Structure 1
Amino acid sequence: MNWNLHFLGVGAAHAVELGSSAVVLERDGAPLLLIDCGPDTLDRYIAAYGEPPRALYITHTHMDHVGGMERLFFRLWFDEQWRGRTRLFIHAGLMTWLQTRVADYPNALAEGGVNFWEAFRLVTCTRGFWLDGHWFDVFATRHHMAGTSYGVALAGSFVYTGDTRPVPEVLARVGAGEELIAHDCGLIGNPSHTGIDDIEREYPESLRRRLRLYHYGSEADGAALQARGYTIARAGDRIALPAPGPLRPDAG
């Protein structure tokens, strides 16, 4: 069985030419889980796979990560074969924010009679969630306010941080093996995002060699990160992953 992480977009919020940061976990070439749904993500996803996502995980509710959900609602609702089928996984602590951002506008349809979440199969979680027999760990990250952003990991295979400052104590748990680590990193850090100096200060070399950096600010910034000896992800990249390993002792 082959596993890949397909990067649909890799840009920071202002780097529209790089695409909204989003990835798809693929198993034997088929999409298993989409992570985040920014303004251009649905178009990129359908161009790659020919249909809407069957499963979606949201890391946090900034619009460059959820701005495509209204379009996804319409795509699902007006196709009876898809209505209510797409599983949407989100940390329970984010539901108020997501409701406010995408679902509170009066009348999801002008005709009324439809609740926004009826187009989805909503699954809230805290520690993690099951999908097709695999347990995915959900973990808190450091982005703006505490309790507003969460990454996701599949033991033995990959870690996806979402937007974050460095989280060495977390990666010591969810990325302790040979997992590929897709990590937020710009050329210069700030109070909400990791910079390359943060990476070099906070993470040991044994972890840095497994990083694939995304959410950078421009092509030039990506080239500068590469010049520092790091591997960046580019929109369209498919990166081979290790096969998932045994469940963690605290899983499920």
Structure 2
Amino acid sequence: MNWHLHFLGVGAAHAVELGSSAVVLERDDEPVLLIDCGADTLDRYMAAYGAPPRALFITHTHMDHVAGLERLFIRLWFDPVLRGQTKVFVHAALVPWLQARVADYPGALAEGGVNYWEAFRLLPFTRGFWLDGLWFDVFATRHHVPGTSYGLALEGSFVYTGDTRPIPEVLAHRTGGDEVIAHDCSLVGNPSHTGVEDLEREYPDTLRRQLLLYHYGSAADAAVLASRGYRVAGRGERAALPVPAKPRADAG
């Protein structure tokens, strides 16, 4: 059995040529979970897999991570077989923000008579969630306002930070040394995102060796990050993962 993270896009919000940052967890080349859904994500997903995602995790509700939900709604609603089947995993604290961002506009369809979330299967959680016999841990990250952004971890396999400032203590707690850590990183940090100097100041060598950087500003930025010794994800790349650990007895 092989596992991969398929990077549909790796760009910061302004780096449209790199695609909206989103990845797919794959098992034996089949999609298990899509993480985030920016404006161009659905097109990239459909080109890769030929069908809409059956499971989606939202890290936070900035539009470069959720703008594709409107098109996904249309795709699901008008197919009776697909309608209500796509699981959308959202931390309970994000539900009001997500509702305001994508579902509150009066009239999901011009014809009326449609409740937005009927197209999906919305599954709020707090600590994490089960999917296909796997337990996914979810943890808060540092991005703008506290309680508005979350990362994802599959024990023994990978951690995906979403947009974040440095969180070395969180990552040290979530990893055992072999996991791939897909991490937000630009050349220069700011109050909401990690910069390469932040990594070098705050992360020990043991964590930096596990990093796979994404959400950068340009291909030129990616080259600079790579020149400093970091592994950098490219758009369309499939990064091999360790086999996930068996879920803990106390999971869930």
- TM-score, length-scaled by structure 2: 0.98
Distance 2:196 2:175 in 1: 19
Aligned twin of 1:108: 108
Answer yes or no: is the 8 Å Cα contact 2:177–2:206 preserved in 1.
no
Aligned twin of 1:193: 193
Distance 1:47 1:183 in 2: 25
Distance 2:201 2:251 in 1: 30
Is 168-177 or 32-41 further displaced after alignment?
Answer: 168-177
Q: Cα–Cα, structure 1 residues 136 and 224, in superposed 2: closer, same or farther, change >3 Å?
A: same
Structure 1 residues 27-56: Cα deviation after superposition (integer angstroms, max 9, x where no partner)? 001000000000000000000000000000
Q: CA deviation at 1:249?
A: 6.1
Answer yes or no: is the 8 Å Cα contact 2:172–2:207 preserved in 1.
no
Structure 1 residues 172-191: Cα deviation after superposition (integer angstroms, max 9, x where no partner)? 11123311000000001000
Paired residues, number: 252
Question: Structure 1 residue 16 and structure 2 residue 16: aligned?
Answer: yes
Aligned twin of 2:241: 241
Q: CA deviation at 1:250?
A: 4.8
What 5-or-longer segments of structure 1 have no aligned partner? none
Structure 1 residues 201-242: Cα deviation after superposition (integer angstroms, max 9, x where no partner)? 111111111110000000110000011011100100001100
Distance 2:242 2:200 in 1: 24
Aligned twin of 2:39: 39
What 5-or-longer segments of structure 2 have no aligned partner? none
**Counterpart amino acid of residue 126 in structure 1:** T
Aligned twin of 2:7: 7
Q: SS at 2:17's partner residue?
A: helix
Distance 2:76 2:246 in 1: 34
Q: CA deviation at 1:157?
A: 0.3
Aligned twin of 1:135: 135
Aligned twin of 2:87: 87
Aligned twin of 1:77: 77
Distance 1:137 1:201 in 2: 27
Distance 2:49 2:134 in 1: 22
Structure 1 residues 90-114: Cα deviation after superposition (integer angstroms, max 9, x where no partner)? 0000000000000000010111111
Q: CA deviation at 1:251?
A: 2.2
- TM-score, length-scaled by structure 1: 0.98
Question: Structure 1 residue 227 and structure 2 residue 227: aligned?
Answer: yes
Give the RMSD, CA atoms, in angstroms.
0.8
Identity of aligned residues (%): 75
Distance 1:146 1:186 in 2: 21
Aligned twin of 2:123: 123
Distance 1:166 1:251 in 2: 26
Q: CA deviation at 1:247?
A: 2.7
Structure 1 residues 103-145: Cα deviation after superposition (integer angstroms, max 9, x where no partner)? 0000101111110000001100110000000000000000000
Q: SS at 1:200's partner residue?
A: helix
Distance 1:42 1:238 in 2: 17
Distance 1:173 1:103 in 2: 35
